[in-house]
Amino acid sequence: MSYFFVFEGVDGAGKSGIIKDVAERLNNNDQISRDISITYEPGGPETKRSLGDDIREILLSPDNDMTDEAEALLFMADRADHIKKYVKPHLEEGNIVLSDRFWESSLVYQAMRKNTIKPEMLYRFQVTLGNDIFPDMTFLIISQKPHSLDNDRIDQETLSHRSDMIEMYRGLKNFSLIDYPLIEVDTTKKNWEKYIDNITSEIINVISEL
């Protein structure tokens, strides 16, 4: 059996660093005998250039005047490519896959914030494209203040609407199409060891129960 865990949330909350530290804890845990695979969206593992990397460059270009609808479809195209080429193969090998963002990002950014596409339509796209893979658990990493931010358009937009974005992520807990656990982790106080310990414990509990 394989396991899929997603790390979502606002930019600058420490999400990417937490994933790496959790992966290290899992690798060093005697209870875990499976390989740990880390990936991210848009794109995929950092060791290989992907469609998502090209999409990100387009979105961050100062010449980008893409419509919100086109942007939403690009992210879904990247996810279809990412799942088929990376997520599914690693799950089929029985690995534990940790992903920095997944379809919940589209729910928040495209469906809820920009109101570009209806959540139900997004779900149908997800399943129709063969992406009938959903997490065993998603961790919502939030922070009232950014700990770090890249100097790009996407991050700056998130910063200006930070409180709204946090509430949108919290709102996913009431979203009827999500039938797996959403665990909120507030990193505002920077208690990194505590956060990593708690997340690692949650993952080990899921693996033990399934």
- Annotated domain spans of the chain: 3-209
More confident residue, 107 or 152: 107
Give the number of other CB atoms < 10 A from CB of residue 122: 19
More confident residue, 182 or 45: 182
pTM of the model: 0.89
Q: How confident is the model at residue 75 (pLDDT cuts 50, 70, 90)?
A: confident
User: Rounded to the nearest 5°, which phi and psi values hold at 101?
Assistant: 85, 150
Cβ–Cβ under 8 Å, residues 199 and 18: yes
- Tell me, what's the pLDDT at 200? 96
- Tell me, what's the pLDDT at 204? 94
What is the fold, at CATH topology level, of the domain defined by 3-209?
A: Rossmann fold (3.40.50)
Mean pLDDT of 93-117: 89
d(CA 31, CA 62): 48
- Tell me, what's the pLDDT at 149? 59
- pLDDT tens-place string over residues 112-159: 888 777 888 888 877 876 667 899 999 999 988 877 655 554 555 556
- Tell me, what's the pLDDT at 148? 66
C-alpha Rg value of the chain to the nearest Å: 16
User: Where do the H-state alpha helices sit in 6-161?
Assistant: 15-27, 51-60, 68-82, 88-92, 103-106, 119-128, 153-160
User: Rounded to the nearest 5°, which phi and psi values hold at 74?
Assistant: -65, -45
- Tell me, what's the pLDDT at 25? 95
Q: How far apart are the first and last CA of the chain?
A: 8
Q: How confident is the model at residue 43 (pLDDT cuts 50, 70, 90)?
A: confident
